[in-house]
Amino acid sequence: MTTGLLLVQILNGLQLGILLFLVAAGLTLVFGVMDFINLAHGVQYMLGAYLAVTFVSLTGSFALGLVLALAAALVFGLVLEFLVFRHLYDRDHLDQVLATFGLILLLNQGVKMIWGAAPLSVPIPELLSGNVRLLDGILYPTYRFALIGAGLAVAGLLWFVVERTRTGMLLRAGASNAPMVSALGVDIRRLFMVVFAFGTMLAGFAGAMAAPILSVEPGMGDTVLILAFVVIVIGGIGSIRGAFVAALIVGLVDTLGRSFMNDLLRFFMSAPSARATGAALSSMLIYLLMAVVLFLRPDGLLPARGRS
Amino acid sequence: MSGAPALATEGRSGGERRKLLLPAVIFLLLALAPLAVHLGMPASWLPLLTRALIFAIAALSLDLILGVGGLVSFGHAAFLGIGAYATGIMITEGRSETLLILPVVLLACAVFGAVTGAVCLRTRGVAFIMITLAFGQMVYFLAQALSAYGGDDGLTLYERSTLLGIDLFASRSSFFYTVLASLAGCYLLVRAIVASRFGRVLRAARENPTRVSVTGFDVDRVRLIAYVLSGMIAGLAGFFLANHTEFVSPAFISWQRSGELIFMTVLGGVGSLHGAIIGAIAYLIAEDALSHLTEHWRVIFGPQIVLFVLFTRGGIVGMLKRAGGGR
C-alpha cells in the first residue's frame, strides 16, 4: 500500500463519514428532542437523491436542482409529519418502529413505481467536474472535495445553531427535559416541527449531494439508515457532537477496512482465504466496533448531557 | 397435540379456562386444515399454511422477549437465518439427518444469542432496538460473504432433511403436521416458561426493572436466558424454513424480515403468545393474496401497517376480546 492510495482512501472515508453525519444528525436530533425513533429517515435521504435526479434534469442546472429538491423534500417531510408522525410522538417505541417501517415499505415501492427499479444518476456539475492533484500522479475528483467541504460547512452551521442561538438553546433544553420546556411556556409542538423539518432537510441534502457519485436506486436509504444507527449508538444517542465524531470514525474504519483488510490478512494466511475472510470481516468491522464501544461505554462515546 | 391445551384446564377457574379456549380452537382448526384441501381448496394452500406455521414459530419466539420481556429486538431474523444456513450447509455437506442438524442449529443460535445478548442487554430502549438491528445486519453481511455456500445468490438445497432415514418432509401433509406439532410443542413450552417463576420475573422486569433487581433478582441474567431461548426457538423455525423453501439466501436475514416478524407479533396482539400465531398466519395469507393482486403490493401493505398502528390497540386478539365483551 502506497501513501497515495492511503491518502485517497482516507479522503473517501472522510466523505462517507460526512454523509453519514448529515443523516445521523437529523436522526439523533429527532430522537433526542422528541424521543421519536424514525426509521423513515433513510427514505428521506433516498427521496432527496431522487428529487435531485428529477430537478437537475428538469432545470439543467445542478445548483437550482439542488435547491428545488431540498424544498420538495422539506414539503414532503412536513406532509409526513402532519399525516403520520405527529400522532406517534406519545406512543411507545414499538408503535413508532412499526409505523415508520410501514412507511419504508410504501415509499421504497412507490419510488420504484415512479422512477423505475433501474439505478439512475445525476451528472457532476460542470464547475466541479475536474480533478485535484494530490501527489505526483494521484488525482482526486474535485466534486468529492466539494462534498466534504459542504458537509463540514453544514456541520459548522449546525454547531452554531445548536450552541449559539435561542432555537438551539430550546433544542438542547428539549433534549434533556421536554416536559419542563413545555411547562415553561414554549410551544413544544412547534419546536418538534422545526426539529423535524431541519432533520428532513439534512437527510435530503445528504441524498442530493450524494446523487452524482452514488447510483440512485430504491433501497439506497436502508443501508444509510442502518449505518446512521450505528453512528448514533457509538456517538451517544441525542448527542450531535457524538454523532460527528462517530460518523467520521465509522466512515474511516469502514472505508479503510474494505481497502486494506485483504492486504493485512495476507500476512497471516494464503491469498484465497485472505480474500474470503477479508470480505466477511471488513463488512462486519463497524458492527464489531459498535459492540466493543457499547461493551466499554453503554451510553456511547460522547453522551448528550442531561440524559441518563 | 391440539387437545393438549384444553386438557390442561381441568381443575382451574373459569377465567383460566376461557383463556385457553382460543388457543385450543386455533390448534384444532389448524389440525383440520388438510381436510380443506380434500374438500376443494387449491393444493397450493397447504404449503402456504405450512410456511405460515413456520413463521408462527418464529413470531412466537419473538413474543417471548418482545411481548413478555418488553425487549424490542429488531434483529430476530438473524436467528431464523442462522438456523436456515446451518441446515443448508449441513445438507450441502451430505449430513441431512435431522438428529444431527437440529443440535447444531440450536447450539449455533444459543452461542450467537449468548454473545450478542450479553452486549445488547447492556443497553435499554431505543439503543437496544438499534443494536439488535446492527447485529442482524452483521449476520446478513456474513451470509453474503459465504461464497462457498452461495454468497449473495443464496444456496439451493437438492434434498431435504430426513429423520432416522425417513423422508419426513417428502409429503405435504406430513411436513404440515410435523411443523404443526413443533409449533404446539413450542407454544406449550413458552407458555410454561411464562407461567413459571422465571417468567414472572421476566414480566415484572418489563414493568419495573429497577424494582425487580432491588428485590434481589438478577434481571440481566433472566433477560439473557430468555433472549437465548427465544433465539433457539427461532433457529428451529429456520431449520423448517430451509427445508420448506429448499433454498437459503441472505434475504432471510435482511432487516426487513426482522421488521415483518415484529409486525406479525404486534398484528396478532403482543404478549399473548397465541396472538403471535394468529398474526403470523394472517400476515402470510394477506401477503400471498396481495402479491397475487399486484407486484406493487407493498404500496398497499405499507399504509395498512401505518393505519393499523395508528388506529388499533391490542392487535387481533385484542379485537376478538372486545368483540367477545371480555376485557
* Structural domain count, chain B: 1
Tell which residue, B49, B41, B76, has the closest CA to residue B60: B76
Shortest distance, CA B105 to any CA of chain A (angstroms): 21
The pLDDT tens digits for B285-308 are 888 888 888 788 888 888 888 888
Tell which residue, A120, A101, A123, A74, has the closest CA to residue A218: A120
**Which of the residues in chain B have pLDDT under 70?**
1-18, 324-327
Spatial CB neighbours of B195, under 8 Å, sequence gap ≥ 6:
none
Contact call for residues B2 and B30 (beta carbons, < 8 A): yes
Shortest distance, CA B19 to any CA of chain A (angstroms): 25
Is residue A86 predicted with pLDDT exceeding 80?
yes
The secondary structure of B179-228 as a DSSP string is HHHHHHHHHHHHHHHHHSHHHHHHHHHHH-HHHHHHTT--HHHHHHHHHH
> A228 to chain B: nearest residue by CA?
B130
Q: Please give the single-letter amino acid code of residue B21.
A: L
Question: In the prediction, which pLDDT does A308 show?
Answer: 43
Cell 383440520, located at residue: B32
Residue B259 with chain A: CB contacts under 8 Å: 97-98, 101, 104
Q: Residue B299: which of A109, A284, A290 has the nearest Cβ? A: A109
Asked if residue B141 is part of any domain, the answer here is yes
Question: In the prediction, which pLDDT does B325 show?
Answer: 60
Question: In the prediction, which pLDDT does A306 show?
Answer: 56
Grid cell of B36 as nine digits: 380443506
**Measured on CA atoms in the order A259, A260, A263, A265, is the torsion positive or negative?**
negative
Asked if residue B21 is part of any domain, the answer here is no
Asked if residue B93 is part of any domain, the answer here is yes
In angstroms, the first-to-last Cα distance of chain A is: 44
Label the pairing between strands B247-248 and B155-156.
antiparallel
Phi and psi of B166, rounded to 5°? -85, 135
Contact call for residues A247 and A158 (beta carbons, < 8 A): no
Residue B299 with chain A: CB contacts under 8 Å: 106, 109-110, 113
Answer whether B293 touches A (CB < 8 Å). Answer: no
Does B122 sit within 8 Å of A295, measured CB to CB? Answer: yes
Label the pairing between strands A131-135 and A138-141.
antiparallel
Q: What share of chain A is helix, strand, coil (3-state, %, to 5)?
A: 75, 5, 20
Question: In the prediction, which pLDDT does A302 show?
Answer: 83
Q: Please give the single-letter amino acid code of residue B188.
A: L
The pLDDT tens digits for B54-68 are 999 999 999 999 988
Question: In the prediction, which pLDDT does B10 show?
Answer: 40
The pLDDT tens digits for A111-151 are 999 998 888 888 888 777 777 777 777 788 888 888 899 98
Shortest distance, CA B290 to any CA of chain A (angstroms): 14
Predicted TM-score (pTM) of the model is 0.85
Question: In the prediction, which pLDDT does B15 show?
Answer: 55
Question: In the prediction, which pLDDT does A1 show?
Answer: 52
The pLDDT tens digits for A95-106 are 888 899 899 989
Question: In the prediction, which pLDDT does A128 show?
Answer: 78
Look at phi and psi of residue A12 and say left if phi exceeds 0, alpha if psi is from -120 to 50, else beta: alpha
Mean pLDDT for the stretch of residues A225-235: 89
Q: Residue B298: which of A31, A95, A109 has the nearest Cβ? A: A109
What three-state secondary structure class fits A308?
Answer: coil
Asked if residue B20 is part of any domain, the answer here is no
Asked if residue B262 is part of any domain, the answer here is no
Grid cell of A206 as nine digits: 445528504
Q: Which of residues 307-326 of B touch A (CB under 8 A)?
A: 308-310
Q: At what angle do helices B297-311 and A93-115 cross, to 10 degrees?
A: 160
Cα–Cα distance for residue pair B141/B122, rounded to 1 Å: 24
Q: How many residues does chain A have?
A: 308
Shortest distance, CA A103 to any CA of chain B (angstroms): 6
Asked if residue B296 is part of any domain, the answer here is no
Question: In the prediction, which pLDDT does B297 show?
Answer: 81
Tell which residue, B211, B175, B150, B24, has the closest CA to residue B98: B175
Q: Which of residues 74-113 of B touch A (CB under 8 A)?
A: 74
In the 8-state DSSP scheme, what is residue A169? Answer: H
Average pLDDT across chain A, whole number:
86
Q: Residue A294: which of B123, B146, B256 has the nearest Cβ? A: B123
Shortest distance, CA B302 to any CA of chain A (angstroms): 4
Tell which residue, B210, B184, B224, has the closest CA to residue B65: B224
Does A93 sit within 8 Å of B302, measured CB to CB? Answer: no
Shortest distance, CA A250 to any CA of chain B (angstroms): 13
Q: How many residues does chain B have?
A: 327
Does A237 sit within 8 Å of B119, measured CB to CB? Answer: no
Asked if residue B9 is part of any domain, the answer here is no
Q: Which helix (H) or strand (E) holds B271?
A: none
Shortest distance, CA B38 to any CA of chain A (angstroms): 37
The pLDDT tens digits for A159-192 are 888 888 988 888 888 777 778 888 888 888 888 8
Cα–Cα distance for residue pair B105/B82, rounded to 1 Å: 7
Question: In the prediction, which pLDDT does B98 show?
Answer: 81
Residue A105 with chain B: CB contacts under 8 Å: 256, 298, 301-302, 305
Contact call for residues A199 and A26 (beta carbons, < 8 A): yes
This model of the complex carries an ipTM of: 0.81
Grid cell of B173 as nine digits: 401433509
Question: In the prediction, which pLDDT does A103 show?
Answer: 92
Answer whether B135 touches A (CB < 8 Å). Answer: yes
Residue A287 with chain B: CB contacts under 8 Å: 134-135, 137-138
Lowest-pLDDT choice from A26-30, A219-223, B54-58, B293-297: B293-297
Mean pLDDT for the stretch of residues A85-89: 87
Interface test with A, best of B138, B260, B290 (most A CBs within 10 A): B138
Does A288 sit within 8 Å of B303, measured CB to CB? Answer: no
Shortest distance, CA A279 to any CA of chain B (angstroms): 6
Residue A229 with chain B: CB contacts under 8 Å: 130, 133-134
- Burial group, residue B326, by CB count within 10 angstroms (0-12, 13-18, 19+): exposed
Spatial CB neighbours of A160, under 8 Å, sequence gap ≥ 6:
A168
The secondary structure of B103-170 as a DSSP string is HHHHHHHHHHHHHHHHHHTTS-HHHHHHHHHHHHHHHHHHHHH-GGGTGGG-EE-SS--BBTTB-TTS
Q: Residue A93: which of B72, B255, B301 has the nearest Cβ? A: B72
Cα–Cα distance for residue pair A174/A158, rounded to 1 Å: 16
Q: Bigger pLDDT: B161 or A25?
A: A25
Does A98 sit within 8 Å of B305, measured CB to CB? Answer: yes
Cα–Cα distance for residue pair A120/A143, rounded to 1 Å: 18
Does B135 sit within 8 Å of A287, measured CB to CB? Answer: yes
Asked if residue B112 is part of any domain, the answer here is yes
Grid cell of B292 as nine digits: 397475487
Question: In the prediction, which pLDDT does B28 show?
Answer: 85
Contact call for residues A298 and B123 (beta carbons, < 8 A): yes
Residue A31 with chain B: CB contacts under 8 Å: 126
Does A222 sit within 8 Å of B255, measured CB to CB? Answer: yes
Answer whether B164 touches A (CB < 8 Å). Answer: no
- pLDDT band per the 50, 70, 90 thresholds, residue A68: very high
Cα–Cα distance for residue pair A46/A107, rounded to 1 Å: 10
**CB–CB contacts below 8 A, A to B:** 127
CB count, 10 Å around CB of A137? 7
Cα–Cα distance for residue pair A7/A10, rounded to 1 Å: 5
Tell which residue, B55, B97, B99, B60, has the closest CA to residue B80: B55
Question: In the prediction, which pLDDT does B14 show?
Answer: 53
The secondary structure of A204-243 as a DSSP string is HHHHHHHTTTS-B-TTHHHHHHHHHHHHHHHH-TT-HHHH
Answer whether A33 touches B (CB < 8 Å). Answer: no
Provide the residue range defining the domain that includes B163: 43-254
Q: Please give the single-letter amino acid code of residue A170.
A: L
CB count, 10 Å around CB of B257? 20
In the 8-state DSSP scheme, what is residue B273? Answer: S
